[in-house]
A and B are shown apart, each in its own frame.
Chain A
């Protein structure tokens, strides 16, 4: 009698565990039809390896540069590790993780991240928590993920469960049982690709109307934490013999003040880094704020992102010496298929827009 009990207990425990992980998979938001930004981080692992250029940063990278265009025009292989409201320490840990998978020739960091010094910088803590989840949830488990989580958590997150909410996401999403939809079952164990090598395509057009006000600020100085992580990224790139390039994407809001510009310029000069503020080259790039933005100048749409890629690709190949890989048969085959996916997506989105 006694002998039969333990197998039953073990089976019960196993069933319970299986049920636990099934429910967890079911309850985690899938980000397939809405807030696709939440599905971007996991896509990197599919695209990792063999990229000459890696972009790191927030929406100003994943909405403004089209890797496929850079391939088509310059034979540059690139990937964007972007996520919504990516904080600079998250950028750093993502970069450090990237070096585990590949060693690019150039790392491009968008300096808007310098404005946000603490998890509180963006104000609303529940929003910050949601952004944290979008950047952190799908990072693969490693020491880096834990460090990134610890650096990112809001006060509420620390108070209520802390890192356990990330280790067992069901603790965070347990109350989604009320919002379970078909999508949650459909994407239980897989996800569709929502980006093209990290670029999240938008085809809408919403022209810039009025100028964004430049109200004076009490303090224009970047926070110490930002400098700390910027230094860390720079040093990390040095260690991996990789160029660290700073850019400011052509976005009209948040307003980029001259005081910000001076600080970045002096940092770049001090450390001998290349820095490009694309806001100063709008005409050369050919950005037309009537056609190239989907949200009144905050981000570029695909037409703007392609122009941007075309302009920056030139810089990367000429000034940074990034090689044209179009002679590489294997890479060419891979990127041709990426290009095809990209064109199909563009056609599909444009058709959908037409229908609206």
Chain B
């Protein structure tokens, strides 16, 4: 009788233990997948050997790019520091203030004289985009959105053609 009781108890405990194992395992895999990889710096736009990494300090990049064709700035309400926009003919470069320095916030490609590192430029076809970036990144409406590291690369489509290419910093 008592042996049987112990037996039942052990089985019961084993079952509970298994239950824990199951949920514990699930939890782990979830946490594992949400860890951002520190290795990937994300998609990066390169213009004449100048790399524009999101959230990187803007000054050195601006120095190598030379004078902008046009420039606008916008103060944020109540705070020091300016959001700045530099126009270089074929792309815009946006910066945001971080303390005393400006960091790269966004790069927007404007014509087909420039392309992504993978070779996509304005006017390219849907097929070409999908062959390079895959169909999975399509948002179901009008754009391919690729997030990697601290950068998101957005390729906006219009009539099955690329209408805009934007690199942007991703904030938590």
Contact = CB atoms under 8 A, between A and B. Distances in A.
Q: Is chain B a partner of chain A in the same complex?
A: yes
Nearest to A40: B78
B87 interface: yes
B95 interface: no
Interface stretch (A69-77, A208-216, A325-333, A343-351): A208-216
Given A124-B171, A216-B163, A298 B74 contact: yes
A36 to B, nearest CB: 8
B159 interface: no
A218 B145 contact: yes
Interface string A294-325: 01101000000000000000000000000000
A200 to B, nearest CB: 10
Interface in A197-222: 209-213, 215-219
Contacts of B114: none
A37 interface: yes
A209 B108 CA distance: 20
Nearest to A120: B171
Given A37-B78, A125-B171, A296 B142 contact: no
Contact of A58 (B70, B77, B154, B163): B77
Contacts of B50: none
B172 A131 contact: no
Contact of A209 (B71, B92, B143): B71
Nearest to B83: A253
A216 B164 contact: yes
A134 interface: yes
Given A35-B79, A37-B78, A85-B77, A212 B163 contact: no
A253 B73 CA distance: 9
B75 interface: yes
A295 B76 CA distance: 10
A296 B108 contact: no
Contacts of B139: 218
Given A123-B171, A218-B154, A213 B74 contact: no
Interface string B110-146: 0000000000000000000000000000010111010
From A130, A210, A295, residue with most partner B Cβ within 10 Å: A210
A84 B145 contact: no
A190 to B, nearest CB: 22
A37 B78 CA distance: 6
Interface in A36-63: 37-38, 58-59
B72 interface: yes
A173 B31 CA distance: 34
B171 to A, nearest CB: 5
A127 interface: yes
B74 A253 contact: yes
A212 B85 contact: yes
B71 A84 contact: no
Interface in B145-172: 145, 154, 156, 158, 163-164, 166, 171-172
Interface in A57-96: 58-59, 84-85
Nearest to A60: B77
10 nearest A-B pairs in the assembled complex, by CB-CB distance: A84-B77, A84-B78, A37-B78, A210-B70, A216-B164, A59-B77, A218-B143, A123-B171, A215-B108, A253-B74
Given A125-B171, A216-B163, 6 more contacts: A127-B79, A209-B72, A215-B164, A218-B142, A219-B141, A298-B74
6 contacts: A58-B77, A84-B77, A85-B76, A125-B171, A134-B78, A213-B87
